Amino acid sequence: MILENVDVVTDISKEDFQKNYFKKHRPLLIKNFASRWDAFDKWNFDFIREKAGDQEVPLYDNKPADASKSSDAPVTHMKMRDYIDTIKSKPSDLRIFFYIITDRLPELLKNFTYPDLGMKFFKRLPTLFFGGSEAHVLMHYDVDLGDFLHIHFEGKKRILLFDQKQSAFLYKVPLSVHTIYELDYENPDYEKFPALKHAKGFEIFMEHGDALFIPGAFWHFNRYLEPGFSMSLRALPNKPNVFASMLYHVFVMRYTDKLMRKVFKAKWVNYKQKWAYKKSSKAMDKYSE
C-alpha cells in the first residue's frame, strides 16, 4: 500500500472546509475538535457506563460473519457496564456497532454541538461505535454513501482511507461494500494479494477529541489501538446520481446479496471471494502493462 498523511488543522472555517475538502472529496483531520464543546468532559467511558450501564448491547468481534447467518448478526450480548469493564481491563476484540444515540442514550444529544461546516447532517442518526484494544473493522465503505464526521474519544485509533478509484486494488467483493475477509491490512501479504501494493490511500492516527472528515463512499479500515469509542455524524448524499447509487446499494445490491447468502450460504460467500481475487488480479495485470 502507498499511504500518505491527510491534512491536519486545529480549526477551519466553513468556507475553507467546503472549498478545499468537502467539494474536493478529500479527507481532513481536525485535532482536538470536540474540546470546544461545553460538555466535552462527559465524553468518556465513565459517563456512558453510568447512564447506560444496564442496557444490553449486541457485540461483534474480528471474525468474518458466519456464512450460515445474517452478515449483521452479533456474536453475543452483554450489559453496557460489563462490556466497558471488560475492554478496559484486558485486551479484547469485542466492539459495539451502530449504537444510535437518539434511541439508546438521548441525553448525550445535549452534550455536543453540530459543527457549522456546511454539511446537512442527518440528525436522526448520530451513532456511537466502541472497540477494545484488539478490535478492528473490516475494510468497507458505508452502504448509504454519505459523507460523515467521525469524532473519537478515549484511546488511540488508526484508520486507513481509500477512495473508490482504488477498489480494484483492494480486492473488493462483488455485491458488497467490503473486501476479501482474509486480507490483513495491518500485515499485508503482498505475495498472496499483489494488487494491494498499488493501492494509494491515507493513514490517520486519532486521539481523544479528534474529528476526521470521511467523504462519502470512501473505503475505511478502523483499528482500535486502545479501548475507545467514536461518534459519527452523517450527511446523506444530495446529488441525484449519488442518491440513485445509494438507493441501488441499499435496496438492490444489499438485499440481493442477503438472498443469495441465505440460499447458498458458504458457497455464495466463497464464490464472491474468488470472484474478487480474479477481478483484482486482472486490474493489476492492466496496471503493469
Mean pLDDT in residue range 263-283:
81
Of the listed ranges 40-54, 151-165, 237-251, the least confidently predicted one is 237-251
Name residues whose C-beta falls within 8 Å of residue 283's C-beta, 6 or more positions apart in sequence: 168, 169, 195
Of the listed ranges 35-39, 102-106, 161-165, 171-175, the least confidently predicted one is 171-175
pLDDT band of 25, cuts 50, 70, 90: very high
Region of 32 please: left (phi>0), alpha (psi -120 to 50) or beta. Answer: left
Q: Return d(Cα 189, Cα 99) in angstroms, integer.
A: 33
Residue extents of the structural domains in the chain: 2-288
More confident residue, 61 or 249: 61
Task: Kindly report the number of other CB atoms within 10 A of residue 29's CB atom.
Answer: 21
* Three-class secondary structure of residue 200 per DSSP: strand
* Three-class secondary structure of residue 67 per DSSP: coil
256 HSE (CA, 13 A, CB side): 11
Amino acid at 27: P
Smallest CA-to-CA distance from 52 within 90, 10, 14, 84 is with 84
The pLDDT, as a whole number, for residue 65 is: 65
* Contact status, residue 135 vs residue 92, Cβ threshold 8 Å: yes
Task: Kindly report the number of other CB atoms within 10 A of residue 23's CB atom.
Answer: 11
Give bridge partners of residue 270 from the DSSP assignment. none
Residue 221 exposed, middle or buried by CB count within 10 Å (0-12, 13-18, 19+): buried
pLDDT band of 289, cuts 50, 70, 90: low
The pLDDT, as a whole number, for residue 251 is: 76
pLDDT band of 288, cuts 50, 70, 90: low
pLDDT band of 18, cuts 50, 70, 90: very high
**What cell was used for 194?**
499483489
Residue 36 exposed, middle or buried by CB count within 10 Å (0-12, 13-18, 19+): exposed
The pLDDT, as a whole number, for residue 201 is: 97
Query: For residue 263, is pLDDT > 70?
Result: yes
The pLDDT, as a whole number, for residue 246 is: 77
Amino acid at 259: L
**What cell was used for 262?**
441465505
Smallest CA-to-CA distance from 18 within 115, 117, 116 is with 117
* Contact status, residue 259 vs residue 253, Cβ threshold 8 Å: no
* Contact status, residue 211 vs residue 30, Cβ threshold 8 Å: yes
CATH dotted code for 2-288: 2.60.120.650
Amino acid at 164: Q
* Contact status, residue 160 vs residue 185, Cβ threshold 8 Å: yes
- pTM equals 0.90
The pLDDT, as a whole number, for residue 14 is: 95
The pLDDT, as a whole number, for residue 66 is: 62
Strands (E), the chain: 2-4, 7-9, 28-30, 56-59, 76-79, 95-100, 127-131, 136-140, 147-154, 157-162, 200-206, 211-214, 219-224, 228-235
* Three-class secondary structure of residue 215 per DSSP: coil
Q: What Å distances lie between residue 206 and 93, 231, 265, CA to CA?
A: 18, 13, 37
Digit-coded pLDDT (tens) for 104-155 = 999 999 999 899 999 999 888 899 999 999 999 989 988 888 899 999 999 9
The pLDDT, as a whole number, for residue 160 is: 98
Digit-coded pLDDT (tens) for 33-92 = 999 999 999 999 999 999 999 999 999 998 876 655 555 789 999 999 999 999 999 999
Digit-coded pLDDT (tens) for 178-222 = 898 889 999 999 999 999 999 999 999 999 999 999 999 999 999
- Give DSSP secondary structure letters for 250-262: IIIIHHHHHHHHH
